[in-house]
Amino acid sequence: MERSHSASYAAAGVDIEAGYEGVRLMREHVARTMIPGVVSDIGGFGGLFAPDLAGMREPVLVSGTDGVGTKIRIAQLLGKHDTVGIDCVAMCVNDIICCGAKPLLFLDYIAIGKNDPHTVATLVSGVAEGCVQAGCALIGGETAEHPGIMAPEDYDLAGFSVGVVDKCKILDHNAMQPGDVILALPSSGIHSNGYSLVRKVFDVEHADLGMYSDELGKTLGEALLEPTKIYVKPVLACLKAADVRGVSHITGGGFYENIPRCLPDGLTAKIEGAAIQTPPIFHMLQKQGSIPQRDMFNTYNMGVGMTVIVARDDADKALAALHAEGCDAYAIGEIVKGEERVIVC
């Protein structure tokens, strides 16, 4: 069938045919994410998914939406567009598992100044990789060309995910009590938050991002673009193996904003700062930017991408389950009585 074409729309800056080519190029990446439950192909008005609810008494849908933020600018400066899609998926699915839910599906949204099919397909390849890591399906999305609003080479990337959990298995934070153990799930680096400060400190618009750093063991650009870890599979395994009482995704706001989101009133997370395994990029950032320690822990994950709080008697079982999934988790503290919410000592 002959493709539609509008010379008038093209003259206004929107290339419909480039959109068709982008869809053609991304199909092989989307195909990698197909799992049982996918009903529709991409290109329809809506993505269709039939979840397997067998064994669930009261299925509850859990949704999450997020974007990559200004980390996008690092990818643009480096001309490397195949990893920020992983970040996009991670920011959504890592939130969903904090409720105890398993992600099922994902949709992406790409806004771009000028639709370059190869750039768009490369972005989607990263989204697809993130979906594979999370075990969910990429069932649709949107690419919007914004001539006159965005510079031709600019783009932004956001996404939306839906998961499911049986109502009786939604994490009950009220079961938490003093003595529960706080486990750290290591991050891969800065992940996807705090990049406005990162870009200011390192002056990325003028820095040599390709210069190798002995301190980092890689280039600065590689360290800054390192994809966000996706914790779905290790956390789901942990939920099956142990009495998990709280999970926090350490994103913008760092420890002080995110850990309290899973704490009941009257309890505080007491964390041993010396136990935290902090990657070199954070030390470099703090030193070069003269950033106070409190601000670092109130902005960044500091090497802890997620915390899992478990009953003390189940700590070993939880660690074994996480390690079996390739996550080098370790204990960093405990829950105590108090109103401080978070203490890093």
Mind giving me the DSSP string for 51-106? ---TT-SSEEEEEEEEE-GGGHHHHHHHT--SSHHHHHHHHHHHHHGGGTPEEEEE
Question: Where exactly does CATH 3.30.1330.10 map onto the chain?
Answer: 14-40+56-169
Give the DSSP H or E segment for 221: helix 220-225
* Nearest 10 degrees: Cα torsion 65, 71, 73, 77: -140
Integer angstrom CA distances of residue 141 from 3, 76, 125, 130, 300: 20, 21, 13, 15, 30
CA distance 55 to 58: 9
Return d(Cα 135, Cα 158) in angstroms, integer.
19
Q: Which residues of the chain have pLDDT under 70?
A: 1-3
**What pLDDT sits at residue 6?**
83
Residue 1 is predicted with a pLDDT of: 36
CA distances from 7 to 10, 16, 256 (A): 5, 10, 54
User: How many other CB atoms sit within 10 Å of the CB of residue 88?
Assistant: 32
Which CATH architecture best describes the domain 14-40+56-169? 2-Layer Sandwich (3.30)
Q: Which CATH code is given to the segment(s) 173-344? A: 3.90.650.10
- pLDDT of 11 reads 87
Tell me the DSSP string of 112-145.
ESS--HHHHHHHHHHHHHHHHHHT-EEEEEEEEE
The model's pLDDT over 272-296, given as tens digits with 9 standing for 90+, comes to 999 999 999 999 999 999 999 999 9
Domain with CATH 3.90.650.10 in the chain: 173-344
